[in-house]
Structure 1
Amino acid sequence: MAKDADGHESAEESAFTTLTPKNTFVGIYTPDNGAKVGVGMPFSVHFTRGITHPEDVEKAITIKTEPAVDVKGHWFGNDRLDFRPQEYWKSGTKVTVNLNLDGVEGRPGVYGKQAKTVTFTIGRDQVSTVDAKTHKMVVKRDGKVYKTIPITTGKPGYDTWNGQMVISERLRVTRMNGETVGYGGEYDIKDVPDAQRLTNSGTFIHGNYWGGGAFGNYNASHGCIGLRDVRGGGDRSVPAGWFFDHSMIGDVVIVKNSHDRTVAPDNGLNGWNMSWEKWIA
C-alpha cells in the first residue's frame, strides 16, 4: 500500500517501466508487490495500449496461490484484465503473479516490455453489509458479527448503488466536490474525514460530521455511505474513525435494499457483481 504525508493510502498501481515507446506496452497493476489486502481484492491490470490479441496476453500472466484455488481472468474492454477466484479469497492465501509480457504481441507490431513477479497476501476476512432500509451496517470478521454501526445512504434521487463493492483507496481527509461527479455546485466539503473509495464514479464510505440525526434514522447523502464522525477525524472511537481504523484495501462492503441498480462490475474493483459463468465466458 502507498501512503503519503497526509495518510492517503491507495491500492498502489505499479509499472515495471514508465517510458512506453509507441511499439511497446506494459501492465499497470494493483495490488502492489508485498501488499496485504482484504478478501475481495482482485488482481487488476490496466494495459498502456489497447490489446487486440487478448488470449496471448492473458496466457502470459500466470497466477499461483497457496492454498491452491482456481483463479480466472476477465477482460473489461481492451485495456483492463482482472483476475479473481469464484468466491472471496480465504484469509492467509498467498498469491504470486508472474507477468511474462516481454515480447508478447498485444496488437499488430506492439510488444510487451515487462517481466515482473508480484506477490500479495490476503488478510483477515472482513465483509460489511449496509442495509439502506434499516440504516445499519453489520461488520463481520471471519463470519461473526464484529460491530453494528448506524449509517445513512443516498437520499431519494441520489440512491446508493446496490451490490458488492471493494475498498480501493483510503484517505484520512479528502475534499468532495459535487462538480467532479456531475452534481454541480450542490456540495463542496473540503475536509471529509475517514473516506474509503468503493467505485471509480465517486462512491465512498466516509465520515460525516454534518449529518445531524440522519445516522440510523434516514437517508440523507448524495449517494455515499455516511458514518458519524467529528470534524478533522480526530476521535477514533466514533463510528467512522473506528471503521476506518479496522479496514484495509480489498475489504468488501455490500449494499442492499437501496432504490438503485447494482453497481457495474467495472466501476471500481467490483467484478464480484458478475456471475462466475459470465466471468469465465
Structure 2
Amino acid sequence: MRRSVVAIATGLVALTVASCSSGEPSAQQPTSSQPSSGGQQTSGNNSPSPQPKAVALAVTPADKAGDVPPGDPITVTAADGKLTQVAVTNQDGKPVTGAISPDGLKWESAEPLGYSKTYTVNASGQGTDGKPASLTSSFSTVKPGRQISVSVNPTDGQTVGVGQPLAFYFSSNVPDKAAAEKALKITTEPKVEGAFYWFRDNEVHWRPKDYWKSGTKVTVDAAVYGKALGPNLYGKEDRKASVTIGKKVVAVADGATKQMTVSVDDQVVKTVPISMGKRAHETPNGTYVVMTEQQDYTMDSGTYGVPADSPGGYRTKVAVASRLSNSGIFYHSAPWSLRQQGNSNVSHGCINMSTENARWMQEIGSKGDIFVVQNSGGKPLQSWDGLGDWQVPWEEWVKGGKK
C-alpha cells in the first residue's frame, strides 16, 4: 500500500508541473521563431528568402531581325536585376536617344528610326547576385515599297466651333485601317467619348458622341511615320495639331419661314431674313458644319458641274461667303436678293442673306460652327458631302464606316 501511495503522489506532482507550462517557455523548449535543428532559415512570414540570380537581358526587335518598321520602338528589359547602361547606334555610328526607367527594368527609344538602316544594341546590367552581364544585338529596318502621307483638318493653332470633326486625309488608300487608327492619337481635356468613321478608303474622321464643349483642348498626333499601313506601305511623316474649341454658335435656317435664328452658347442672339434654294434647286436638309470662311469670293457653278456659260450657270463675286458643303452650298452675302430674303426662296441652293448679316455671321463665328437647314423641301444632306458627320447617328458612327 505504501508503494501505491508514493506512485500516486509522484503522478500528482507531474500533473502540477504540466499545468504550469502555459507560462514562459523553459530555456530547453524551442519557440516558433527558432528553426528546428537542420531546418532552413525562414523570414517572419515563413517564406524562403529569394535566391540571388544572374540578370537576364532581352531586346526587342530580336537579334538579326529584318524588315523592322522604323516607327516601332526599341526596348531593352532586365529580369532578376537592373539595367546599368544601354547604347543604340545606327550603321553610321549615330546614337538613338532613349532612357532607362526609374526602376531600372526597361529602356525604350525616344525617337523614330530610319528606313533601310542597321542598328546595334549594346546593353549592360547587374543581377541580384551582384554580377554584371552584357548583351549585343543587331537588326535592320525595312526598305519601304511605297510611302503614304496624311493631312489633318483642323490645322495647328486653330480655334474651331463645337461641330468640328477631326478629319484625316491620306495620299492613297489605306489597306490596314486598324493600324491607321492606332497611329492617330487624339487627346482631349476634358476627356470625351469619340470614335473613328471611314468615309472613303483614304479619309477617316474622328468626332465626339455629342457636340464639343466650349473650351475643350484637343491634341492630335498623327504618328504614321514608320508604321505599316498595308503590304509594303509605310507612313511618310507625322502630323501634329493643337486645337481649341471656341464658343457654341448654332444657326438654324428655316425654309418655311425664310428666317435664320442664331444662338451663341445656347442663347438666341439674332434672327435674320434669308432666301434658300428655289424649286429644282432646293437646299438639302440637315446639319452642316462650316468648312471655310472667305471674303471677296467668286461663286462659280462650275465647281459643282454646271458651266458658268450654260443655262443655269453663274460666276458671281460676293463680299462674304462661308462654305457648308463640297457640292457648292454656302451661306453668303446676296445684295441682289434683298427683296426675296424673308419672303421666297430664289437661290441655286445657297443661303442668301444681306452683306451686313453675312459679315456679322463670320465675325461671331468660325469654321466648325453648326448650321442646320430645315423645311427646305430638299433631300437630306449626304454625310460625305463636306463635313456632314452629324448626319450619321452615333449608333451607326461607332461601327466605323467603310472598313
Question: Same fold judged by TM-score > 0.5?
Answer: yes
How many residue pairs are counted as aligned between the two chains? 253
State yes or no: 1:266 paired with 2:384: yes
Q: Is the 8 A contact 2:145 2:232 kept in 1?
A: no
Q: In 1, distance between residues paired with 2:170 and 2:315? A: 34
CA contact (8 A) 1:72 1:85 kept: yes
1:223 and 2:349 correspond: yes
| Alpha-carbon offset, residue 190 of structure 1 | 3.4
Alignment partner of 1:206 is 2:324: no
Instruction: Look up the match of 2:282.
Output: 159
Specify every segment of 5 or more residues in structure 2 that has no aligned partner in the other structure, as ranges: 1-143
Q: Is the counterpart of residue 190 in structure 1 residue 316 in structure 2?
A: yes
Separation (CA, whole Å) in 2 of partners of 1:261 and 1:105: 41
Q: Percent identity?
A: 36
Q: Which residue of 2 aligns with 1:149?
A: 272
Per the alignment, residue 110 of structure 2 pairs with: none
Q: CA deviation at 1:84?
A: 0.3
Structure whose CA Rg is larger: 2
User: Please, which of 112, 130, 140 is the counterpart of residue 253 of structure 2?
Assistant: 130
2: CA distance between counterparts of 1:212 and 1:39? 30
Give the counterpart letter for 2:346 in structure 1: A
Q: Once the 2 structures are TM-superposed, how far is the Cα of residue 138 of structure 1 from its aligned partner?
A: 0.5
In the alignment, the residues of structure 2 paired with residue 273 and residue 91 of structure 1 have an alpha-carbon distance, to the nearest angstrom, of 21
The structural deviation recorded for 1:269 is 1.3
1:121 maps onto 2:244 in alignment: yes
SS of the residue corresponding to residue 114 of structure 1 reads coil
Q: What's the TM-score once normalised by structure 1's chain length?
A: 0.87
SS at 2:221's partner residue?
strand
Separation of aligned partners in 2, 1:212 and 1:265 = 31
User: 1:212: how far off?
Assistant: 3.7
Describe the shift of the 1:22–1:37 C-alpha distance in structure 2 as closer, same or farther (beyond 3 A).
farther
Q: Specify the code of the residue in structure 1 equivalent to 2:381.
A: V
Task: Give 1:189 deviation, angstroms.
Answer: 3.6
The secondary structure found in structure 2 opposite 1:92 is coil
Residues 102-111 or 48-57, more deviating: 102-111
What value does the CA root-mean-square deviation take over the aligned residues? 1.4
Give the letter aligned to residue 195 of structure 2. Answer: K
| Aligned partner of 1:252 among 370, 384, 400 | 370
1:35 aligns with 2:158: yes
Native 8 Å contact 2:219 2:242 kept in 1: yes
Contact 1:63 1:71 in 2 (8 A): no
- Deviation of 1:118 after TM superposition, in Å, equals 1.5
Q: Aligned residue for 1:239?
A: 357
| Cα distance in 2, alignment partners of residues 61 and 269 from structure 1 | 19
Work out whether residues 190 and 217 of structure 2, in 8 Å CA contact, stay in contact via their aligned partners in 1: yes
CA distance in 1, matches of 2:315, 2:338: 16
SS at match of 2:337: coil
Instruction: Report which stretch shifted further, 271-280 or 113-122.
Output: 113-122
**Quick one: higher RCO (CA 8 Å, sep 6+), 1 or 2?**
1
Q: Which residue of 2 aligns with 1:175?
A: 298
Return the TM-score normalized by structure 2: 0.61
**How far off is 1:116 after superposition?**
3.3
Letter in 2 for 1:270: G
Moved runs in structure 1, 4+ residues, more than 3 A?
A: none
Q: Distance in 2 between matches of 1:203 and 1:141?
A: 23
Check conservation: 2:151, 2:239, Cα contact below 8 A.
no
Q: Helix, strand or coil for the counterpart of 2:361?
A: helix
Instruction: Tell me the residue number matched to 1:100.
Output: 223
Contact kept in structure 2, 1:50 and 1:107, CA below 8 Å: no
Cα distance in 2 between the residues matched to 1:24 and 1:179: 34
Is 1:52–2:170 an aligned residue pair? no
8 Å CA contact 2:277–2:349 kept in 1: the answer is: yes
- Aligned-residue offset at 1:22: 6.7
Describe the superposition over 1:13-69 as per-residue Cα deviations: whole angstroms up to 9, x where unpaired. xxxxxxxx9710111111001110000111101000101110111111111111110
Contact 1:175 1:188 in 2 (8 A): no
Distance in 2, matches of 1:158 and 1:182, equals: 14
User: Using the alignment, how far apart are the partners of 2:251 and 2:244 within structure 1?
Assistant: 20
Q: CA deviation at 1:216?
A: 0.5
* Correspondence for 1:63: 186
1:105–1:272 distance in 2 versus 1, CA, 3 Å: same
Which digits, 9 at most, give the CA deviation of each residue in 1:92-130, with x for residues without a partner?
000011111122222211101223332100000101100
